[in-house]
Amino acid sequence: MERPNFVSNGFGEEYLYEVDRDLFVLESASSRIDSEFRDSFQKPDSLHIIIGSDSGNIINYLQITDLPLGSRFVFIEPDFIKQLIKDKVTGNLPENNIWLVTPEEVDEVFNDTHFVEYCFLNSVQLHRSLSAEYGFLPEYRALYWKIESRLGKLKWDAVASISSESFIKNQLLNIADNQNSISKLHGILENSTAVVLAGGPSLDLHIDWVIRNRENLYIFAVSRISKRLLELGLTPDFILSCDPTEESYQISKEMLDFDENVVFVNEYHVAPKLLKQWPYNKFFTHDLFPWQTELNPAIAGFTEPSGPTITNLAVSTAAWLGAGKIILLGVDLCFTEDGHTHALGSKERAAGPRFDLSGLTVSTNQGKKAFTEPDFANAISTLSVTASKLRAMGIDILTLSAKAAKIDCVDYALSESISITRKAQFNLSDKVSSGRAHLDRARSELLNKLSEFRNLKREIENAIGIHQKMYDGSYVDEMKKNELELIDRRIIDTYPESFSFLKRVSLRGLLRMSNSIVKLDDLDSSEIKARLNIYYNSLNQGSSWLVELIEQSLECIARRMNEINPTEQDFCDLAQSWIDNDEAGRYRLPWVERVIPESIKESLRRAYEEEMNRDYLKQLAEIKKERSLQSIPSRIVQFYDCKDEKGLTQLANSLEEFDGGEQYLPLAYAYLYLSQENKAEALNVLIPVTENPDSPILEHSLVKLFSLCNDLGLQQCSLDALAALSCLNKRYLSKYADALAANNQLMDAINHEIEYLHYYKADDRSLSKLKKWYQALGVTNANELIEKLR
């Protein structure tokens, strides 16, 4: 395109016409921007990412606006636009508050914006400028999708960089049952061949190869595919699980039906209901306790990083156990062309293809592009690091899937070209220990920490009381301030490690509650008081949380101690406690089955089977399916904006095969025709949609119809589309009024604009239009009428 030039409007403002067209002709840029962004921009402690800057006018608006504390603004412009506007806006930008960057500079700037803290405050907001919203400059739409995808991954990375409360919670709750460390199994496979079975769609293509070669392979299977393996009669050697959520348990609970030949390898923070009810050999990875202690096992050399997906754990475990070659199957880490993420038999597959994908893409082993999502992209990155380390150790990692994401240091190979090393035999009888010794040591460690955290809590509560009495208006009582500082020093000196851990577990609360992005130097005394209140209250909540969790962990240890040499009466009490604590499946432990009275066993069996037969995920799958359907229109536009005709075609094919997807087909076909520059056919596809008032794409179709009718010179059709839109969404009333005025129907235009003002009061742009139209009709008291509408 030709180099854009600045033009001036009647309000003394400059803008690039090619960027903003007539947005700032009837109304000043500052007024229009204020009405559009005022509410969003006034939220304190927010990081705003804005695509486009409306020729720099949003930046100019911010420079004359009182900005809320802790808010920052990053404007992203294509390089050629940035070069045109930078001299007009960057001369007096507030330091560390407003940035103007190109897409290539985004990551560097985020390092200066406290991005991680904003993520924990859940206050990173992505906006389109007015010009980007209207799409006058085509580069903005592609830029929006690109930045949206990049933000998704950055947010994932940021949140994953700090331990989650759920990890620490489960680590404490699992202490009684994490009795054997993976450290005991180092090297037992002696250079055998391992195959990692994950839940990606490519599993279906290669499962027969695994079955044919079963006798020569050690199978490491992720827990979520247990149901599928049970249906196939394929028993793995190791079953692995790591996610701490209830959803993970529900997806994986069929693993409890495997027999005693299967070994369970779990991350320390695995869902407790899986760990507590697994009846056979199990080994945990990493630390037993969430703080430093001699009771944490030494596993130096266990390949890191193991997260963020179960596949990383499986690969690291296979290597630690001594596998000389590791083959990945179902480790796709991307979506199929028709939007599937998981293999047959999974609940995700039953929910249908995903249409709510991010814009992230990766290369596959066959050299094509495939969509992925932030957690998959992170898994690709960390798995490549693991594979590189293993290759240096002489361990090969291979994949048989052409459609899986390409991972550095993971070689793609055809199954017939792979040589398999026969399995080494091993015996776990000398690797497993359990019983009172572990429970006694864990109990002693927990009691010591419980005492420390109770003492910390008392000190913090004391500090809260003193801090409340320290202020008299703006006056600070120096004696009480000194008292508070003494408590702070005593806490740090007496409990250095425990206090450091307390701050760690309180970090999310501290970030969310204290809005710590703002420097104390920027606050007045009342705000400092409020922030310090929040600081101490966050630590108090954290200490209460830890005390409660440690008490629950001790209760679990007590239950396990009661399981040692129980009497019949003990079994009655145990059975009820197992049911109450979601661990009825413990009746299937081999030693329990041998000695538990049959009447008690029957009540536990009923409770266990009742739980196993509940399908908690059915509603969740329906919600995900509905959310996926709702995202289809934006996915269609994304393919169109990216000129991805193949993607549009594949999406249309998927919709034809998906229950509920057929309702979205007209929109997909319309954009497909538009990508082929066939506007007339696109119009014909959309017109029937307007006859169905319940269509989920009615508004989207009418918006496109309006545009198409304008392009094709169908004036009445264009008006009809706007009329229908204004009935669906009152936002369109003003645009409909504009169209009526352009068609010399001024009275109708005035009536619709007044109706618009009924919903969106005091819109200066709307009032300016009304005044102009009244004057065109010769209404002498136009000013009086306008004032009544304010």
Residues 11 and 56 in one domain: yes
Listed in sequence order, the DSSP H helices in 296-407 are 310-320, 347-350, 374-392
Instruction: Kindly state whether residue 143 falls inside one of the protein's structural domains.
Output: yes
Q: What percent of the chain has pLDDT over 70?
A: 89
Residues 458 and 404 in one domain: no
The type of residue at 285 is T
Q: Report pLDDT digits (tens) over 488-498.
A: 999 999 999 99
For β-strands 6-8 and 14-16, DSSP reports them as antiparallel
Per-residue pLDDT, 305:
44
Q: Residue 607 corresponds to which tokens in the numbers above?
A: 């409770």
Instruction: Kindly state whether residue 577 falls inside one of the protein's structural domains.
Output: no
Instruction: Kindly state whether residue 44 falls inside one of the protein's structural domains.
Output: yes
Residues 369 and 220 in one domain: yes
DSSP state of 406: P
Residues 6 or more apart whose CB falls under 8 angstroms from that of 661 comprise 352, 629, 632, 654, 655
The span from the CA of 650 to the CA of 628, in Å, is 16
SS3 state of residue 131: helix
Residues 271 and 376 in one domain: yes
What is the CATH classification number for the domain harbouring 347? 3.90.1480
Per-residue pLDDT, 446:
98
CA dihedral 317, 321, 326, 327 (to 10 degrees): -70
Q: Taking a C-beta distance cutoff of 8 angstroms, is the pair 323, 342 a contact? A: no
Residues 76 and 128 in one domain: yes
Residue 195 pairs in a beta bridge with 219, 327
Residue 766's domain spans which residues? 620-789
Instruction: Kindly state whether residue 580 falls inside one of the protein's structural domains.
Output: no
Give the chain's length: 790
| Mean local confidence (pLDDT), 545-554 | 97
pLDDT at 512 over 70: no
| Mean local confidence (pLDDT), 514-527 | 57
Least confident of 334-343, 429-438, 512-521, 693-702: 512-521
Residues 152 and 199 in one domain: no
Residues 6 or more apart whose CB falls under 8 angstroms from that of 187 comprise 321, 322
Measured over the CA atoms of residue 407, residue 411, residue 416 and residue 418, the dihedral's sign is negative
For the chain, the domain total comes to 4
Residues 6 or more apart whose CB falls under 8 angstroms from that of 269 comprise 166, 167, 168, 169, 170, 171, 174, 242, 244
pTM of the predicted protein model: 0.74
First to last CA, the chain: 42
Q: Taking a C-beta distance cutoff of 8 angstroms, is the pair 542, 498 a contact? A: no
Q: Which among 777, 728, 729, 732 is positioned nearest to 752, based on CA atoms?
A: 732
What is the CATH classification number for the domain harbouring 661? 1.25.40.10
Q: 367, 390, 417: which is the final residue of a domain?
A: 417
Residues 153 and 10 in one domain: yes
pLDDT at 284 over 80: yes
Longest CA–CA span in the chain (Å) reads: 100
Residues 691 and 746 in one domain: yes
Q: Residue 630 corresponds to which tokens in the numbers above?
A: 């709702």
Per-residue pLDDT, 45:
80
Residue bearing the bigger pLDDT, 579 or 628: 579
Per-residue pLDDT, 296:
94
Residue bearing the bigger pLDDT, 46 or 218: 218
Residues 318 and 413 in one domain: yes
Residue bearing the bigger pLDDT, 266 or 767: 266
